[in-house]
Amino acid sequence: MTTPIKHMLIPVLFVGFLFTGMITTLLTPDQAYSDAERRRLRQRPIPDQSDIFDGDYYQKLEQYSLDQFTYRERFRMINALTRTRLFNQQDINGIYRHGDHLIKMDYRLNPAALRYAGNLFSTIIETHLEGMAIHYGVIPDKNHFTAPQSHHLQYDYPRLISLLHANITGATYIDVFETLSLDDYYRTDHHLRQEAHVDLSRHLFDHLGIKAPGVPHTVYHTHAGFAGSYYGQAALPLEKDTIRLLMNPTIAALEAFELQNENRLPVYDLDGLESIDPYNVFLGGQMALRRIENPTSTTDKELIVFGDSYMTALAPLLAEGYASVTLIDLRFVSHTVLDTYIDFNDQDVLFLYSTTILNDAFMLS
């Protein structure tokens, strides 16, 4: 091959690649949503005279083209592999790989948010929970287990806990850090596998003064191909997770309700497995107020849990030891209206939040 032909071949192939990609993109129907990234993709912008003259239309068109480009997910994976394996970049979008796990590198502690959380919990205790047995705990993020070995940055966990201790009054701390390990979490997500919640619930029962139920669990349903929230963000090739739902006669008899609209809920919403976030299988996903009733309970003791999305998989297991468990998510409801829906009367109370939510606690009300 002569030198002039060689010089022409590369630009011709490059232009041909771009042209082919453009034609394929134009002929392919636009996608509304990216399952991998769990976000809506930009749609073709409608030309507007003002947008054309001030340049906004062309910026929207560029963003649309980037979202709808053919084989976009493959190019994202190639980009991620090039950056991590060829250029030895340690993370992609703040997420790094440790063995088979994807882990978010959270490390900037927000003392103001932690003080706010502690003061908010104390206000709730003084306003609604006087005289009750109250405990609180913190669920660590996966970075807690891997950062010392991988040399990534991490939260100052002793300071995080000490800030909560200094600002929460009237409650006893339950340490759950040593109860958990990295393998208790989904590999591609930040949540705990429900199987791991069994040991966690027993640990909590011990501190709450509840006799742990002795009925064993079996796997009621499995859902393979669970791509957790980190899977799409990292764009790295990794085997997806499997969601396993636990069952026994006590859980089978549980009855769940959404309190604001008084709707009945399934303990396991199998339709949620086909939703954008399959983790919605647990009690229908994220809601403000829910209650689980245990008609087989041999005690009249009740539990109130203030928490985040972690509590949805844990709640059925806690309900095995109580007559009822009420779940409160302060991200979606203000504590000032709780008396409207909940009769506070000598229940056990547990504040159980993940480090990620506590470090951004201004979303709680």
pLDDT bin (cut points 50, 70, 90) of residue 56 is confident
Radius of gyration of the chain (CA): 25
Q: Tally the domains of the chain.
A: 2
Please indicate, yes or no, whether residues 73 and 151 belong to a single structural domain of this protein: no
3-state secondary structure of 154: coil
Please indicate, yes or no, whether residues 8 and 42 belong to a single structural domain of this protein: yes
Please indicate, yes or no, whether residues 82 and 193 belong to a single structural domain of this protein: no
Please indicate, yes or no, whether residues 60 and 116 belong to a single structural domain of this protein: no
Last residue of a domain, one of 98, 118, 140: 98
Residue 25 is part of which domain span?
3-98
Please indicate, yes or no, whether residues 47 and 165 belong to a single structural domain of this protein: no
Please indicate, yes or no, whether residues 80 and 143 belong to a single structural domain of this protein: no
Q: Are 160 and 138 in contact (CB under 8 A)?
A: yes
Please indicate, yes or no, whether residues 149 and 260 belong to a single structural domain of this protein: yes
| pTM recorded for the entire structure | 0.85
Last residue of a domain, one of 41, 72, 98: 98
Please indicate, yes or no, whether residues 59 and 179 belong to a single structural domain of this protein: no
Please indicate, yes or no, whether residues 55 and 21 belong to a single structural domain of this protein: yes
pLDDT digits (tens, 9 = 90+) for 83-131: 888 888 888 889 999 999 999 999 999 999 999 999 999 999 999 999 9
| DSSP, residue by residue, 275-318 | SSSGGGGBTTS--SEEEEE-TT-S---EEEEEE-TTHHHHHHHH
Please indicate, yes or no, whether residues 80 and 148 belong to a single structural domain of this protein: no
| DSSP, residue by residue, 49-90 | HHHHHHTHHHHHHHHHHHHH-TTHHHHHHHHHHIIIIIS--S
- Where are the extended beta strands (E) located within the chain? 33-34, 39-40, 95-98, 101-104, 133-139, 172-174, 218-226, 241-247, 255-258, 263-265, 289-293, 302-307, 324-328, 348-354
d(CA 42, CA 60): 8
The residue-averaged pLDDT of 210-231 equals 93
Last residue of a domain, one of 72, 98, 124: 98
Please indicate, yes or no, whether residues 238 and 348 belong to a single structural domain of this protein: yes
Q: Does residue 222 carry a pLDDT above 90?
A: yes
**Residue 56: CB partners within 8 Å, gap ≥ 6?**
50
